[in-house]
Homo-oligomer: A and B are copies of this chain.
Amino acid sequence: MKVRQAIRVADSQPSRRDTRLDKYVEQYAARASGFQVSAVRALFAVANRPEVVSLAGGMPNIADLPQFEIGATISKLIAERGAQAMQYGSGQGEIFIREKIVEVMAAEAICANADDVVITCGSQQGLDLVSRIFCDPGDVVLAEAPSYVGALSIFGANQCEVVHVETDELGIVPDAVRQAVTTLRAAGRKVKFCYTIPTFQNPTGSCQSVQRRQELIAVAQEVDLLVLEDNPYGLLGFDREPLVALRAMDSERVIYLGSFSKTFAPGFRVGWVCAPHAVREKLVLLQEAATLCPPVFSQFAIAEYLENFDWRAQIRAFADMYRERRDAMLQALVEHMPPGTTWTHPSGGFYVWLTLPDGLDSQAMLPRAVSARVAYTPGTAFYADERGCENIRLSFCYPTPARIIEGVKRLGEAIRSEQETHAIFRTERTARPGRHGAVINPAPDIN
């Protein structure tokens, strides 16, 4: 048989005995050496065990979507338009879903044209494409302190240097943006954009007021800085109508990333970039090179959903459900956290940002927490420098209220336990070894 002969020939070549674990190690690109496995990877595998309450992840709760009806709608789509829905499509994304997205963005005062919109494989891919278009190795991007780990991952993979900018309870501090840009440029560095999640930020939950947004835009104009606005949670506020997007305040300076992942469902991988014309042209060229086109079937499916279902009512239902979970978490935190623990009080989104009592280290404490059958994401994941070890991000999006309460209770016990250990050994928080290169969290965080 020719196949067997073919394989025998390959086997009979005298092979160089290469005993390296990774024989390609000298062939990788420079950027690949920055892909680091996160120290918490091993723990996340454990954290996903059913007996562990995971307050670590960012998966939306989609159990209440009307699955049967959605199935019927998509069945009809395939039967009637399968030849288009299952075919290659436009590199920019299909016109009908871009038109729907213009309607969706109008809720945040964005006036856009379908032509300004580029569909991506989730807004995560939007982060990738935008940073590839703008950033050379060594260029700087500004990000909030702390910021979304998935953004830090891809900026790092694209060899950008992330410089964190001070935040307060209203989010990024505009004066600090000005200061950072001035200092970096004086040192000869190129600052390509400021990455911000203005509304229900991941991980802090903060929401920029209208005035804060105005101030940020004013500074960006003053220092001629692009702003990359990431907005997956904008419509998931618990107490208010959506705030005006940064994009609505300056459409030439703000590149906007949107997503259906939290307002509908993540598994279709449909997000979008709303960008100024010249940037959009480059995005389309790069998307076509990188994927030919974003998932067509997914775009048809989501367009059918938006057309045939009361998607606004579904978002309100999601917000009610997440509000209940936030309330459960905040109540449980009051009840179970030891003195010296503080936390944020988000008015939307998925996350609470907790600060541990003095002297504790969230990364060092994680094994103890998992042994106590609760998991969280240490604050260090959300910094490109070494900060964050006194913080924890707690997600209330996925577990039920009862599980949230139980998880926070277990967390309280773990913290107290850790405090006792510290008291016994009078352990000072030791300097942790520097982390080099980009950290890519392989149990991917969600934004």
Q: Which residues of A contact B (CB under 8 A)?
A: 2-3, 5-7, 9-10, 13, 15-16, 21-25, 27-32, 35, 37, 59-60, 62-63, 65, 67-68, 70-72, 74-79, 82-89, 91, 109, 121-122, 124-125, 128, 132-136, 139, 150, 153-154, 156-157, 192, 210, 213-214, 217-218, 221, 224, 226, 244, 248-250, 252, 261, 265-269, 276, 278-279, 282, 284-286, 288-298, 300-301, 440-442, 444, 446
Please list 19 pairs of residues, one from A and one from B, whose beta carbons are closer than 8 Å in the complex, sorted by A's number. Answer: A6-B109, A9-B217, A10-B221, A16-B224, A24-B134, A35-B286, A65-B83, A74-B74, A86-B266, A86-B267, A122-B292, A124-B292, A154-B289, A156-B289, A266-B296, A269-B297, A269-B298, A293-B444, A297-B297
**Choice from B10, B25, B32 contacting A249 with Cβ under 8 Å:** B10
Q: B67 near A78 (CB under 8 angstroms)?
A: yes
Q: A293 near B269 (CB under 8 angstroms)?
A: yes
Q: Which residues of B sit under 8 angstroms from A156, Cβ to Cβ?
A: 289
Q: A67 near B83 (CB under 8 angstroms)?
A: yes
**Choice from B70, B248, B286 contacting A78 with Cβ under 8 Å:** B70
Q: Which residues of B sit under 8 angstroms from A300, Cβ to Cβ?
A: 267
**Choice from B87, B210, B267 contacting A6 with Cβ under 8 Å:** B210
How many angstroms between the C-alpha atoms of A394 and B288 in the bound complex? 21
- How far apart are A53's CB and chain B's nearest CB, in angstroms? 19
Q: Which residues of B sit under 8 angstroms from A16, Cβ to Cβ?
A: 224
With A9-B218, A295-B268 in contact, is A153–B87 under 8 Å at CB? no
Nearest residue (CB) in B for A441 is: B288
Nearest residue (CB) in B for A268 is: B297
- How far apart are A71's CB and chain B's nearest CB, in angstroms? 3
**Choice from B60, B72, B136, B153 contacting A288 with Cβ under 8 Å:** B153
Residue from the set A9, A65, A128, A296 with the largest chain B CB neighbour count within 10 Å: A9
How many angstroms between the C-alpha atoms of A123 and B314 in the bound complex? 35
- How far apart are A98's CB and chain B's nearest CB, in angstroms? 17
Q: Which residues of B sit under 8 angstroms from A31, Cβ to Cβ?
A: 132, 136
How many angstroms between the C-alpha atoms of A76 and B71 in the bound complex? 7
Q: A30 near B210 (CB under 8 angstroms)?
A: no
Nearest residue (CB) in B for A438 is: B289
With A68-B79, A86-B266, A292-B446 in contact, is A13–B249 under 8 Å at CB? no
**Choice from B77, B134, B298 contacting A29 with Cβ under 8 Å:** B134
With A32-B133, A267-B85 in contact, is A288–B442 under 8 Å at CB? yes
How many angstroms between the C-alpha atoms of A213 and B300 in the bound complex? 41
**Choice from B2, B37, B153, B297 contacting A267 with Cβ under 8 Å:** B297
**Choice from B83, B268, B276 contacting A62 with Cβ under 8 Å:** B83
- How far apart are A447's CB and chain B's nearest CB, in angstroms? 9
Q: Which residues of B sit under 8 angstroms from A87, Cβ to Cβ?
A: 59-60, 62, 265-267
**Choice from B37, B125, B132, B279 contacting A285 with Cβ under 8 Å:** B37
**Choice from B136, B214, B292 contacting A9 with Cβ under 8 Å:** B214
How many angstroms between the C-alpha atoms of A298 and B297 in the bound complex? 8
Minimum-distance CB pairs A-B, first 5: A71-B78, A75-B75, A67-B82, A267-B296, A22-B278
Q: Which residues of B sit under 8 angstroms from A68, Cβ to Cβ?
A: 78-79
Q: Which residues of B sit under 8 angstroms from A446, Cβ to Cβ?
A: 88, 292
Q: A86 near B24 (CB under 8 angstroms)?
A: no
Q: B32 near A282 (CB under 8 angstroms)?
A: yes
Q: Which residues of B sit under 8 angstroms from A29, Cβ to Cβ?
A: 132-136, 139
Q: B285 near A269 (CB under 8 angstroms)?
A: no
- How far apart are A171's CB and chain B's nearest CB, in angstroms? 15
